[in-house]
Amino acid sequence: MTVATSNKLQPDWAIIIYMVVLHLVALTAFLPGTFSWSAVGVALFLHWVTGGLGITLGFHRLVTHRSFQTPKWLEYFLVFCGTLSCQGGPIDWVGMHRIHHLHSDQTLDPHDSNQGFWWSHMGWMLHDLPIRSEVPRFTKDINSDPVYVFLQNYFIPIQVALGVLLYLIGGWPFVVWGIFVRIVAVFHCTWLVNSATHQFGYRTYESGDRSTNCWWVAVLTYGEGWHNNHHAYQHSARHGMKWWEIDLTWMTIQLLQRLGLATKVKLVDQNEA
C-alpha cells in the first residue's frame, strides 16, 4: 500500500466542507455582536484544555506513545479533552499518528513533508487516503474499549453539546470563540507539528527523517515543537531535552507524578541524549 500524491487521490468532500464551515464561522469572530473579552478568555482556556491536556498530553504522549501511565479514569478524562478538539475520534487520531512515526517522511507517511508544506499541514486530510484502512491494526490496544469507541463515534454530538452549554452561559460570542475560533486555532497549532517542524528549526539528533526542533511551535503546542528530539526518542515523556527547551507538557507530567497520578514515566538517559 502506498500514499499517493494529491493529484492521484479522491478529495474527501465531507472533510473539505467541514473545514470550510469551521473556518468561515471563525472569521466572524470580530463582527459586531460576536466579540467580547470574556469570550476570548473562554477560547484561551479551552485551547489549553483541548490542545494541551487533550491532544498533547492525552492523545499524544499518554495514549499514542504510552510514555507514562495514569489511572484509567484520568486517561479517559484526558482523551475526552482531546476529543473536544474535534480532530476526528481518538482511535483514528492515535492510529494515524502511529503510522506517521513508523513511516516518517516516507511514502507511507500520511503527511509526508517531502510533498510540501501545504500537504503536511492539512492537504493530506482533505483526501481519501488508503492508509486509513490500516488504523485498526495500529490501535488494537484501544479500539475495543467502549469509552474510546463512544468518543470515536460521537465526537461531533459531544461538540454540539459543548456549544449549547457555552450558548447558555455566554450567548453567541461564547459559541463563536469557544467552539469555532478555538477549534481552528488548535487545528493549526497541531498541524504545525506535522508541517513546520519538518521544515524549519534545528536538528539535534539524526532521527532518520526531516523532523526539526522549532521553538515557536513549542510555544504554541505546549512543548510539541521539540519534534526532532521526539522523533529520536519517541517514547520519552519529555520532549524538551535541554534546560532551555521549555516543555510545558513535561512540567504537567511532573506535577502528575508528584500527585501520584503519573507512573512508569519513560525518559531518556541524559548522558545518552
Domain region containing 75 = 8-258
Q: Is the residue at 266 inside a domain?
A: no
Work out the average pLDDT over 31-37. Answer: 94
Give 81 or 9, the one with higher predicted confidence.
81
Q: Is the residue at 1 inside a domain?
A: no
Work out the average pLDDT over 244-252. Answer: 98
In this predicted model, what pLDDT tens digit does every residue of 49-97 receive, in sequence order? 999 999 999 999 999 999 999 999 999 999 999 999 999 999 999 999 9
pTM: 0.94
In this predicted model, what pLDDT tens digit does every residue of 198-232 receive, in sequence order? 999 999 999 999 999 999 999 999 999 999 999 99
Percent of the chain past pLDDT 90, that is, above it, reads 95
SS3 sequence of the chain: CCCCCHHHCCECHHHHHHHHHHHHHHCCCCCCCCCCHHHHHHHHHHHHHHHHHHHHHHHHHHHHCCCCECCHHHHHHHHHHHHCCCCCCHHHHHHHHHHHHHCCCCCCCCCCHHHCHHHHHCHHHHECCHHHHHHHHHCCCCCCCHHHHHHHHCHHHHHHHHHHHHHHHHHHHHHHHHHHHHHHHHHHHHHHHHCHHHCCCECCCCCCCCCCECHHHHHHCCCCCEHHHHHHCCCCCCCCCCCCCCCHHHHHHHHHHHCCCCECCCCCCCCCC
pLDDT at site 272: 59
How many distinct structural domains can be found in the chain? Answer: 1
The answer to whether 262 and 70 are in contact (CB under 8 A) is yes
Q: Is the residue at 164 inside a domain?
A: yes
pLDDT at site 269: 80
65-69, 174-178, 266-270: lowest mean pLDDT where?
266-270
pLDDT at site 1: 45
Q: Is the residue at 268 inside a domain?
A: no
The answer to whether 156 and 21 are in contact (CB under 8 A) is no
Q: Give the model's confidence band at 3: pLDDT under 50 very low, under 70 low, under 90 confident, else very high.
A: very low
Q: Is the residue at 111 inside a domain?
A: yes
Q: Is the residue at 192 inside a domain?
A: yes
Q: Is the residue at 46 inside a domain?
A: yes
Q: Is the residue at 233 inside a domain?
A: yes
Average pLDDT, the chain: 95
